[in-house]
Amino acid sequence: MQYAFSDRIRALKPSAIREILKATQDPNAISFAAGSPASEAFPADAMRGFADEILRDMPAAALTYGVTEGYTPLREAVMRRMQEKYATGSADDDILIVTGGQQGIELLSKCVLNEGDTVISEAPSFIGALNAFRSYAANIVGVPVEDDGMDLDALECALSENPNTKFIYVIPTFQNPSGRVTSLAKRRAILDLAERYDVLILEDNPYFELRYSGEAVPTIKSLDTKGRVVYCGSFSKILSPGIRIGYVIAGRELITKMTVAKQVSDVHTNLVFQMVAYKMMTEFDLDAHITWLCDLYRGKRDAMTRAIGAALPGTSFVEPEGGLFLWLKLPDRIAGAEFARACAEKGVMCVPGATFLTDELAPCPYVRLNFSTPSIAQIEKGIEIMGGVARGFGIQ
């Protein structure tokens, strides 16, 4: 039959990254296309032990319905950790456990966006968020990302030209895909502009604890005294994306509405894994695990930057101080998509930069390289192969 899809969903395309990952069936292919933690980084033994305990000691509580807001001990533990360690979240805020940070982004969109409302986003930005905004028929306005965060003049211009702006979407720390960190001065300036134009900020911060060098920068939420920042966090990059546990910290009234919106979406987030996540926070040394992750990923990042230095002259990048990605700049005349396609033909996968643009048709001489999932040997071999592809493009 002919299916009649809604206007909202008809315009949505499958994520190019998911499509690339689906194509990566060749066991010999080297993938720099993922956005996940290393497979060796999952604390599977600890999680299995806690899941066993939960199902043995409290099966009725774990296997029945839970409340939409989330498992209370987990909500309290996350709020306490974010407040005590990162001054993020105040007495006026509340917390909602969500099915991955992605759901937090989607729920905020559902709660505040009417068709045609504007969302101002960094360009490039996280495709999952851009698609969430698109699915609510938002007008997405991209603001270029500089080495220290959004171009503030362009942001102010976007705010003044779009009086129907509902929120500014920012990934301030180890941005996906650019790896950039928004400086403290720019975090303050973005908050000031949000005040001046009376819009919300969606601070999406799933990578911030994966820092391998440089100094930590306070969250935008920690600078917010007026409930203007909606903070979205996740366990995906520090524990496991498969457990689908994230959280939103925001003003009470917003959280109440997002809770109703979540009820409609999935009733509540998987309770067994909320309980496992709680035990991982309270009976497992999460901070030591994060330190171990940072050591692992620092080694991989360094291997990638070294290999690029040797094999890819004529390209450039800003060394990422954390996170999972390196944003590789090719000469202006080369489209990232063509380069990525040529690399894929040689068995090396990466994501074309244009995938992350608010305007996917704009020229984009970048590719995104993930360094967390490949081994150091694969990083070295994959970058060497990319070097050969680059020479074929006349990049010297």
Q: Which is nearer to ligand PLP, 102 or 274 (CB)?
A: 102
Cβ at position 242, least distance to ligand PLP in Å = 9
Of the candidate spans 3-11, 99-107, 257-265, 380-388, the one that interacts with ligand PLP by CB under 6 A turns out to be: 99-107
Interface with ligand PLP, residue 126, by CB under 6 A: yes
Binding to ligand PLP by CB under 6 A, coded x per residue (else -) over 176-205, reads x---------------------------x-
Which one, of 105, 104, 84, lies nearest residue 95 by Cα?
A: 104
Could you tell me the two tokens for 339? 């380069």
Could you tell me the two tokens for 59? 């099966």
Interface with ligand PLP, residue 101, by CB under 6 A: yes
Burial of 253 (0-12, 13-18, 19+ CB in 10 A): exposed
Query: Residue-wise over 11-36: b if at least 16 C-beta within 10 A, else e?
Result: eeeeebbeebbeebeeeebbbbbbbb
The residue count for binding ligand PLP (CB under 6 A) is 14
d(CA 221, CA 108): 16
d(CA 127, CA 358): 9
Q: Residue 89, by phi and psi: left (phi above 0), alpha (psi -120 to 50) or beta?
A: left
Give the footprint of ligand PLP on residues 231-270 (CB under 6 A). 234, 236, 241, 246
Contact (Cβ atoms closer than 8 angstroms) between residue 35 and residue 176: yes
Which one, of 146, 122, 117, lies nearest residue 133 by Cα?
A: 117
Cβ at position 174, least distance to ligand PLP in Å = 9
Q: Which is nearer to ligand PLP, 233 or 336 (CB)?
A: 233
Could you tell me the two tokens for 283? 């009976």
Cβ at position 362, least distance to ligand PLP in Å = 20
Cβ at position 325, least distance to ligand PLP in Å = 9
Binding to ligand PLP by CB under 6 A, coded x per residue (else -) over 153-172, reads ------------------x-
Interface with ligand PLP, residue 173, by CB under 6 A: no
Among residues 206, 251, 322, 382, the one that binds ligand PLP under rule CB under 6 A:
206
Cβ at position 98, least distance to ligand PLP in Å = 8
126-to-64, 176, 242, 389 alpha-carbon distances in Å: 34, 6, 18, 27
Of the candidate spans 25-33, 97-105, 216-224, 281-289, the one that interacts with ligand PLP by CB under 6 A turns out to be: 97-105
Of the candidate spans 98-106, 112-120, 256-264, 310-318, the one that interacts with ligand PLP by CB under 6 A turns out to be: 98-106
Which one, of 191, 198, 248, 199, lies nearest residue 223 by Cα?
A: 191
The residues binding ligand PLP (CB under 6 A) are 35, 100-102, 126, 128, 171, 176, 204, 206, 234, 236, 241, 246
